[in-house]
Structure 1
């Protein structure tokens, strides 16, 4: 059995950064993720006038990364600034929402990749809640200028979060800062576990969220600064769990157990259905491959970030693998559903696709130069297939820096230890 240390969760780190900024006083984050996305978020906070200190802390023989954020309950601490969000969706969606709670002119822009990703459900909702937004280019896309008037009025709003739960999360995170709080009535919602992360973290920072079906109510109330530890990233762990199932080995990820916040840990349940053995304790999760991967049909709407992981290893199953209800993967860093299909087809695998599904048939991988589309999840997923097949290469291996800069080194070390 090999233990693999996975970096902190990107989703939890981004939420914790915003919560820390919105809380009066100093918040300490322990073991946050350091990646391109989180660097962009930190740079954005600093540009908005928040102080973020990054360092380490040693307790006994354990050294942890520690970030200290000096927060404010009154929004950004500057009144005129431009912020570049890079490729980060959380940065590009959460920070403009935060800016609506302040006073001043806040200009946000992002990479070409992020500019293509829509924000209409979020920007429409913010406008309905009293925010002033302008789009110098394409409507409801970056770049966007937020003119803050000192407090977001708030109130009741209807939101379609059927393509991204981040739209709902962005509203929830700033809801207690609004003058009248918020009641958010959600018509459609994808990736529900990510919203549970948001509401649980808000409660950890002192704000209660009332949930009644798809209606979320948050009254005006202050966040409370605190120390908060970041658990390992479950989406990043999925690649190593998949490697264990594929190679017939046993891999344990510590600090990611049955009590984890992240819904993507449910990926191991999919692997269990396919024949792997799974053990979850309160403090760790272990996947052991049995030498067999069974075909299956699975709905991955709530864990769609792990769809490419499953798609990449699906040809090794003994029957077709059909992944359903994953339309939202088409509007990520790239059209992930089509990216998986096209790369598998070029590798000689029979694949069928539809509006929101992909079906992958058993087959023998041929050597293929994987087109990653600058998408970290495509790069990491097909790297796992490359553990079993010679001749799989990536056109942009460095794109993993978005969420897991050391991925290739960690994977190489893991394989070396598995081989003894």
Structure 2
């Protein structure tokens, strides 16, 4: 057990809490990329300030973009420069969104990342850039970090095929830079499956609100016309996927959790949470912009297809470990290529606590079993850490290794978690 292990608190009764969730990482980093390519300065309000967004901001500054952080983030576009190194950390949005941007720079851009990032697949987007005439040099295992994109100041564009079965970010990364390509870009998905479609819809929606013409009328094909990207003054929605552990807590131990700022409509995959939680035995209602979820402490098992919302799958899996009936999660094979192999990690950690969990071809099968305390490894993965905290609400003695990894997308998770519990913590 490492010295950073965090004793997950056990709830000592039903919850009654309101949790203010910070801004969406997915929206924040998309706004940053579009602001960097815009026709003037942009102001981004209620931005998430986390490791992933700071990495994106620092990477754009490295490429010659002005980024001022604070209550609002001010982004001033500049000439994109090469002969620099971009540190991706473990941020999938940085490593997948910025290579097409780097192709517009005036020289080579070297991409590196954390040790864990070297296992994340990059091949589809790098191959797509090569097909568009951009030189990309592998400097480690082919299709992985590190690599160098040789920018020449412009990309001709046209049409490209990409297999985005492993991540919808491959499509989004190409679409975000496409307005700046001389001929725009048509992206065709060639894989058998397409995970996290809401994230692509999010990208398309943000492009359109920035004045970019996008045609997505043909399934699996997106056409972005060349043209200016409008500078914006926008407010970022709360991160609905980061709200998942808190809302699931109401089902796990009973009581009510409220999240203000919930949008009436959204492209975030986390927007599917209310319906999912109702299938698992909770109740959910939206009063104005406040989402209220209540539960009894009894979790109903279910068969769920989460292909459109894979990022909340670790949280839902942790909740289903506490269910009274066998469950299955489907459509999430792509989670094997996230911060860690999330399917293998969840299986290992649930089993370590005495649970019964097995991998399937495209997901997990979970069955009821008595749980005991013990180490819960995070694998440098923020979703794994919060999953351990959720199980710890009901199971005494869960020790979450490296809970600080939650800072990737959710600063002060521990403070928010203990604040939700208030006095409802067992001694």
1:177 alignment partner, one of 176, 180, 183: 180
Runs of 4+ more than 2 Å apart: none
Once residues 288 and 93 of structure 2 are traced to their aligned partners in structure 1, the CA distance between those partners, rounded to angstroms, is: 28
Counterpart for residue 86 of structure 2: 83
**Cα shift readout 1:297-333 (whole Å, capped 9, x = no counterpart):** 0111111111111111212212011101110111111
Quote how far apart the aligned CAs of 1:267 are.
Answer: 2.3
Deviates more, 1:110-119 or 1:161-170: 110-119
Secondary structure at the counterpart of residue 157 of structure 1: strand
Structure 1 window deviating more from structure 2 (79-88 vs 282-291): it is 282-291
Query: Once the two structures are superposed, what CA deviation does each residue of 1:155-179 show, in whole Å capped at 9, x if it has no partner?
Result: 1111111110000000000111101
Which of these residues, 26, 38, 41, is aligned with residue 41 of structure 2?
26
In structure 2, the partner of 1:213 is 219
Cα gap change, 1:258 to 1:355, in 2 (>3 Å) = same
Measure, in 1, the Cα distance between the counterparts of 2:363 and 2:82. 46
Among 104, 119, 131, which residue is 1:116 paired with? 119
Q: Residue 168 in 1 paired to residue 183 in 2?
A: no
SS of match in other structure, 2:272: helix
**In structure 2, the residue corresponding to 1:103 is in which secondary structure?**
coil
Residue 281 of structure 1 and its aligned partner are, at CA, apart by 4.3
Distance in 2 separating the partners of 1:116 and 1:291? 38
C-alpha distance after superposition, 1:85-133 (max 9, x if no partner): 1111111121121011222121111111111111111111111112111
CA distance in 2, matches of 1:343, 1:49: 43
| Contact preservation (8 Å) 1:257, 1:280 | no
Is 2:99 the counterpart of 1:66? no
Write the distance in 2 (CA, Å) between the matches of 1:340 and 1:231: 29
1:390 counterpart = 2:396: yes
Q: Secondary structure at the match of 2:166?
A: coil
Whole-angstrom distance in 2 between the partners of 1:191 and 1:130: 28
| 1:360 is aligned to 2:366 | yes
| Residue 242 (structure 1) aligned with residue 257 (structure 2) | no
Give me the TM-score of the superposition, normalised by structure 1. Answer: 0.94
Q: CA deviation at 1:343?
A: 0.9
For residues 278 and 229 of structure 2, what CA distance do their matches in structure 1 show?
Answer: 40
For 2:263 and 2:18, locate their aligned partners in 1 and report how far apart those are by CA, in whole Å: 13
Partner of 1:59: none
Kindly report which structure 2 residues correspond to 1:359-378, keeping only aligned pairs within 5 A, or say none: 359-378=365-384
Partner of 1:200: 205
TM-score by length of 2: 0.93
User: SS of 1:156's equivalent?
Assistant: strand
Equivalent of 1:149, from 123, 148, 152? 152
Aligned to 2:285: 279
**Aligned residue number for residue 62 of structure 2:** 47
Deviates more, 1:246-255 or 1:160-169: 246-255
What secondary structure sits across from 1:322 in the alignment?
A: strand
What CA RMSD, in Å, does the superposition of the two structures yield over aligned residues? 1.4
The structure-2 alpha-carbon separation of the partners of 1:165 and 1:281, relative to structure 1 and needing over 3 Å to count, comes to farther
Instruction: Spell out, residue by residue over 1:333-381, the C-alpha distance to the aligned partner (whole angstroms, 9 max, x if none).
Output: 1111111111111111122222212111112210121011111100001
1:231 and 2:237 are equivalent in the alignment: yes
Q: Are the aligned partners of 1:24 and 1:70 in contact in 2 as well (CA < 8 Å)?
A: no
* Residue in structure 2 matched with residue 317 of structure 1 by the alignment: 323
Instruction: Give, in whole Å, the separation in 2 of the partners of 1:208 and 1:154.
Output: 15
Equivalent of 2:356 in 305, 328, 350: 350
1:341 aligns with 2:344: no
Q: Deviations over 1:243-265 (max 9, x none)?
A: 01112111111112331231222
- Gap runs ≥5 in structure 1: 56-64
**Cα displacement string for residues 47-72 of structure 1 (whole angstroms, at most 9, x for unaligned residues):** 111111112xxxxxxxxx20000024
Cα offset for 1:208? Answer: 2.1
CA distance in 2, matches of 1:195, 1:106: 26
Distance in 2, Cα, partners of 1:373 & 1:237: 21
What is the Cα deviation at residue 417 of structure 1?
Answer: 6.2
Residue pair 1:168, 1:195 contacting (<8 A) in 2 also: yes
